[in-house]
Structure 1
Amino acid sequence: MANSMKSGRHDTNEPVIKLFEGEKWLVVTSSIGFILAAGIAIYLFFQDPIILPEGNVKDAFSFNTAIGVFILSIAAILPFSQFRDRSRKMMRWLFIITALYAYAVETIQNFRGLNPRFSREGSVFDIIAGILFGVDSLVLVTLALLLTIQFFRLKAPVERPLLILGIRYALLSVFVANLGGVWMILLQDRFTGDAGNLIVLHGIGFHALQTLIVPGWFLERAQINEKLKKSLIHYGSIAWMLSIIVIGIQTGLGNTVFELSTFPILAIILLFIWLGTTIFAGWQFLKRVRKSTFLKQDRSL
């Protein structure tokens, strides 16, 4: 019983919750973003990205890719949220609807030569579409916040606790990224000061849904001390969180993060700490895989 509790399982006969379990439609929605991005990439191979007066098809490519990755990440972690069926279904479809609207506006408006958010050349219809895009973004922010609250409300024991720990840190990083997004909405621009670019903070913050969850997935399969596993997740995740806070400060000061000054150098050092813990986690995971493969081969002989 004690071993079962430590592993996060209530019953050894009870199936472990899996990534993406029951989230087919979120995966399909994320695939739409990748398909759009692939189509745009082909277009960019033959055509210039700028479409006058305001359109930039490269923005549509990067946006659709980013939303596709984000929705895929949500599909991966939503099964662990312990939402009731009705609440989980509502969350799922709100994510789907907001993502589909975002794909449509970002792609169509850029190909029409208009800024999808803050158009100065479009009609009243385009301005309304941009306002609704802002509302759509705020809905995504709210959904991510509700998901964060739900994961922090989970009480031990939980299924796959190391993965849950990584998810919690990742969602905190997403919260910081969303603050950057709200900042852009209020500014009606992505730039601050002479060279600050909020899209860097926004993008890096969201990538925590991959960078902080994967180490937990590695470590739950590694054969090392449980205390060390948790410490690695804490150290790596805290280093990541501090790095994006430092990036936010640098951006808020109106400076680019791509310069050799105090804050960017500190951010790089912190990211190297995160990278070191992730590489170690991956190495321990590979050791376990190699050992399992060797034992299977040995038995077959």
Structure 2
Amino acid sequence: MTTVRLGLAQTITHFGARERENLDNAVRLIAQAGALGVDLLAFAENYPGPFTEANRYDVAEAMATAAGEHGVAVAYGTSLPAPDRPGSYNIATVVVDERGQYRGEYRRTHPVGPYIYRDTPEWNFDYVAADEFPVIEMSWGTLAVSICSEVHLPEVSRILALKGAEVCLFPSGLLIDELGYTDNWRTLVRARAIENHMYTATLVNLMDTAMSDQLSSGEPGPRRNGISRGIGMIAAPERVLAQSESPGILTADLDLERIRYLRGTDEELLVPAPYQTIPGHLKWRRPRLYGPLRDS
């Protein structure tokens, strides 16, 4: 199998008393993805939860069961107890395959401190960073995850690409659009695709706009109706494949043979070029020159 249909589950996220509704909605979205022929469905950071240390509930069994029933691999967000740190948690994306079998997980590595996770009662636990960069072997190829603002650190996705990742998900948390980051965020996600010859994708938790105003630390902006705008995008090294700011499942078909071609081909000065980005540049790397980067 060399073509993979990727789906991004852009959905309204509930907090507080309604938080557990996220799990039921996630199961429904997996069923919808199955009907759409999606091979891999990705959710936003920490979705479907839990989002707090006080309100813990299990999502693993329901997500795995739904994945197996509908034949869809799923990359879902959650918070997991941190090893050797009682009472602390890692932000994680867990991957199960189309049979519902666990394939792996990525635990957020940056930043090292609590960052936003103590800012509101709706998303509240003692976050600690993990220290590993796993890639996840699927039946069709190699998958990786880099969570939220880690997109600003090219080292993370480069390590994952050098370990073989052909698709990298960038699930994001909250308020990306409200903070004014959307254009730069999508630019960075696309840059990670270009510089690493991998498919990349990002999405964010959508909210009722009254909730996003509540989470704002300043005065609410102009009153809006409906829900916050999404940042959903799926990018290839050569172009953007799909974008949407609306709820629903955003899909694109990923040709993994194209990634393998771009990684293995040396550039030739052909006009017109048979590619829209310089191929083979990962082979240009000269790691012995990069000591200052490593040691700084």
Max Rg structure: 1
Q: TM-score range by the shorter chain?
A: under 0.3
TM-score by length of 1: 0.23
Greater helix share, 1 or 2? Answer: 1
